Amino acid sequence: MLRNGVHTASNNSRPSTATSEKKEIWSTLLNKVSSGKKVPEKHLIVLGGTQESQRDFLESLAQKRPNRNRQPDRSGNKKPPIANQFALGYTYQDVYDTEHEDLLARLSIHILSSPSLAYAPLLAHLLTADTIPSTSIAILLDWKEPWHFVRQLRAWIRLLQTVIHALPPDAQSALEENITTWHHTRNAALSSSVTDTHTSLPLGPGEYDEPLGLPLLIVCQNALAMETLEKEQGYREPQFDYILQFLRTVLLKHGAGLIYTMPGQPGQLQPLIYTMLNIDTGALRPSSAGKEKGEAGLRHNVVDQDRVIVPPGWDSHGKIRVHREGFDVEGLSGAWGVDIQPPPPIIQSIETEANGSSDELSDPALADPLQLDPEEEAANPHSTVVLYESTIQDPHPPNNTKPTIEVPLKPEQTFLAEQLTLLDRYRRDDEAEQRTKSRTAPPARRYPGLSSSTSSDAQGGAMRDQLGPVQFNMGGIQYDAEQVVRGLQERNRPREETPVRTRSREGTPFSPRTPGDGAEGETDEDRNLKNFFAGLMKPGRAGSQSASNSPRPERRE
């Protein structure tokens, strides 16, 4: 630009320093706004159960909207789909406050149905240093099959132990922080007015000595099935108390909680899960009257048989022993600590699989390491599974015999001799069956116009059985053709003369004689009797019966 004859440089652009400062201000403001509206994300891993039981669990966990006069939001009425048909399922739920106005958290739910070692890498990807502080685990059991409780629980704990031992160092540090937080929460719950909340209280025997580093809850569903067990299987109060004490003892080692639920009656399941995930919805806050009485929102219950709830960190060996005497709490706790330890080769295979350097999970020797072999269980009488299933027995035990693939080869002559014996037996059985049928079969019917060879034919016999007797109608009268033909044949048949009976000495005077016999067979006595009766039959001689009785003198010439 020319000013006063002097060329000056013109620069209409703003200084670079101002532009950079303006960009940094906008990015800072946007980050603050986005972080202010960000909803905290929580993670819940659901292990076990079927598709129906998992759906019931999620419906019990979902929040219900309060009844209001205003029109609800249509977008919020849609339930998220449940993907639980494959290896690792997923769904989500939004957690609101008690008034259902403010969104407190987004709950991501991961579902795994089978405790197979092949699914261990899937769980390992869920447990990272960022997700572990906001993750809890729930294991589903079913009261329809209480004899499988300990076996299923041991399989899931062994799988979790296997995954946890193979996590990277940053995830292990997050688990240690969770354990420290659990101790602080327990001390705060057990503290009194005399004890300081920051004082570390010692753990009791068998309490939290096998920590997983993750909050754990055992959900025993379908508690209504306990009535069916009483009616059909003969379960009584000692059996139910034994199951409860067994579960409380093994869960105490992991600091886990326990709850019984019913379909349509979740009870305190929802607040218990939210407490484990550190979600404060305001439902557990006691009212002013509750504060004066010292009531808390989440309370334990081990008295009601079908409404049991044991919050995490509340139980102890003394409380378990008081429930019913004679239960060996210490022995069971030590045996459970041995059963849940996974073998070292399994941990190494998980580590190599997580690093992607090997494919040892496909090794047949490690195909099913989470389930003990039946022979191994029988050889170990101190196993918790053997101890539990010896008292709570399966009414329909499965057949544990393994099918054999190889077939033993027999010598040729031995095989043929066995087959010959078998064929002879079959032949004798067939002959005996034919004799039995011939004795019990009805006599064959003979029809006119059929020869003996035709009547004996099998096809003709089958035809006669189908046709039945041949009949015809003549003048309104029903005739049987077979009977008419039979009568005509008997009429045309020559008759045999009836033989005349001969008189014997023992016979009477009127015994008939055969034709052709003459008087030469008569005796004097016969002739006298004949003449006597002939004289009586003459007229005029009836009155001279007495005279005729005297013998007439013979006339002499």
E strand intervals along 192-335: 216-221, 257-260, 309-310
**pLDDT tens digits, one per residue of 354-380:** 555 444 444 433 445 445 555 556 666
pLDDT at site 354? 54
In a domain? residue 537: no
The conformation of residue 64, written as its DSSP 8-state character, comes to: P
Q: Which domain holds residue 52?
A: 37-64+79-391
**Three-state DSSP class for residue 266:** coil
422 is written with which tokens? 């078998």
Percent residues over pLDDT 70 in the chain: 62
Strand partners, 280: none
525 is written with which tokens? 């006595």
Q: Identify whether the C-beta of residue 246 lies closer than 8 Å to the C-beta of residue 238.
A: no
- In this structure, of 115-119, 230-234, 467-471, the range with the lowest mean pLDDT score is 467-471
Angle at 45 between CA 41 and CA 46, to 5 degrees: 135
Report the sign of the C-alpha dihedral through residues 30, 36, 38, 42, in that order.
Answer: positive
User: How many other CB atoms are there within 10 angstroms of residue 189's CB atom?
Assistant: 14
User: What is the count of structural domains for the chain?
Assistant: 1
Of 48 and 491, which is predicted with more confidence?
Answer: 48
The conformation of residue 253, written as its DSSP 8-state character, comes to: T
Compute the distance between CA of residue 135 and CA of residue 278 in angstroms, rounded to an integer: 10
301 is written with which tokens? 């219950």
With 50 as the cut, is the pLDDT of residue 336 above it?
A: yes
**pLDDT tens digits, one per residue of 434-446:** 888 887 766 655 5
Q: Looking at this protein, which amino acid is placed at residue 365?
A: A
With 70 as the cut, is the pLDDT of residue 75 above it?
A: no
In a domain? residue 526: no
With 70 as the cut, is the pLDDT of residue 464 above it?
A: no
pLDDT at site 455? 45
pLDDT at site 375? 58
With 70 as the cut, is the pLDDT of residue 165 above it?
A: yes
Q: What is the CATH number for 107?
A: 3.40.50.300
In a domain? residue 528: no
In a domain? residue 409: no
User: How many other CB atoms are there within 10 angstroms of residue 151's CB atom?
Assistant: 15
**Three-state DSSP class for residue 481:** helix
Secondary structure element (H or E) that encloses residue 520, with its range:
none
The predicted model gives 521-545 an average pLDDT of 58
pLDDT at site 395? 86
In a domain? residue 336: yes
Give one word for 321, left, alpha or beta, with left for phi > 0 and alpha for psi -120 to 50: alpha
The pairing of strands 41-47 and 135-142 is parallel
Q: Does the pTM of the predicted model rise above 0.85? A: no
In a domain? residue 420: no
In a domain? residue 30: no
Of 315 and 483, which is predicted with more confidence?
Answer: 315
In a domain? residue 341: yes
Q: Identify whether the C-beta of residue 370 lies closer than 8 Å to the C-beta of residue 158.
A: yes
The conformation of residue 204, written as its DSSP 8-state character, comes to: P
**Three-state DSSP class for residue 56:** helix
Q: Identify whether the C-beta of residue 135 lies closer than 8 Å to the C-beta of residue 213.
A: no
The predicted model gives 204-222 an average pLDDT of 90
Distance between first and last Cα of the chain: 219
pLDDT at site 418? 92
Burial of 18 (0-12, 13-18, 19+ CB in 10 A): exposed
